[in-house]
Amino acid sequence: MKIGFIGLGIMGKPMAKNLLKAGYELVVLDRNKPAMEEVIVLGAKAGLSNVDIANQCEVIITMLPNSPHVKEVVLGEGGIIEGAKPGTIVIDMSSIAPLSSREIFAALETKGVELLDAPVSGGEPKAIDGTLSVMVGGKKDIFDRCYDIMKSMAGSVVYVGESGAGNIAKLCNQIVVAINIAAVSEALILAKKAGVDPDLVFQAIRSGLAGSTVMEAKAPMMMDRNFKPGFRIDLHIKDLNNVLETSHGVGVSLPLSAQLMEMMQAIKLDGCGVEDHSSIVKYYEKLANIEVTR
């Protein structure tokens, strides 16, 4: 099976590499030529355009920053829709607004083209080792047909429901992640301000009920002052914006998510938008006038 892959960023590039490792024939496209070359040297072929990829691939994966980018690549001038044949499957693994996923689904359906919205969670480390969590919306039979493809990049692939459900699940994930990072930040700031080694507090609580995947990944980064982006503040702001727009649309209040959005906006204004979302700790450090270190 020939698979197209559009979007070789922090997440997309290692995901494409894992597809190659699984033995799939891959045609890739990205504006970043060095990223393309890195995947091509491993056996992928270069796509000439979105239409070119749609002309030659049965399945096309997109991994792009946000809703407008996916709409442009799929539905815009020279987009996938212009080259895709009836029966082609698009798997959008970007994290975008659920309404946008449903709009793209409806537009492709008129051409006989299928869409799964299949956003991922786990950040760059899990993209590299192929243990991402994938949450999928769309037709169940299309999900079943594409399960093995997605599983080659992931540790968990779960069908959530009809079109848009995958991105709803991703928004729920991003709420929990953001609030969890903030909670870890508060705890370590309290420890440091009280004169207790934050690393020893981390070691003491990590195996109890407070322990989490987020704590394991982000607490060491905070204490080591390592804010190299696995998932940027800018992208989490994008996701929380989609969270709040969706919550307002369905009529639910999410006060903690709204607070985290404001905290991340403050961090962005301090020049940390391109840093990892573990830099939320800097918001608390500024308030407490202290730095969390081991």
Active site residues: 170
Taking the C-alpha atoms of residue 48 and residue 198, their distance in angstroms, rounded to an integer, is 51
Tell which residue, 34, 32, 35, 31, has the closest CA to residue 13: 35
**Length reported for the chain:** 294
Which letter does DSSP use for residue 276 in this model?
B
DSSP for 175-243, written as a single string: HHHHHHHHHHHHHHHHHHHTT--HHHHHHHHTTSTT--HHHHHHHHHHHHT----SSBHHHHHHHHHHH
With helix as H, strand as E and coil as C, how does 167-190 read? Answer: HHHHHHHHHHHHHHHHHHHHHHHH
207 CB neighbour count, 10 Å cutoff:
8
DSSP state of 84: P
Answer for the pair 276, 232: CB distance below 8 angstroms, yes or no.
Answer: yes
CA neighbor of 114 nearest in space, from 147, 141, 150: 141
Task: Please name the amino acid found at residue 95.
Answer: S
For the stretch 251-290, what's the b/e string if a residue is b when 16 or more beta carbons lie within 10 angstroms of its beta carbon?
Answer: eeebeebeebbebbeebbeeebbebbbbbbbbbbbeeeee
C-alpha to C-alpha distances, 64 to 1, 112, 236, 245, 275, nearest whole angstrom: 22, 23, 14, 20, 18
Task: Give the whole-angstrom CA distance, residue 65 versus residue 229.
Answer: 14
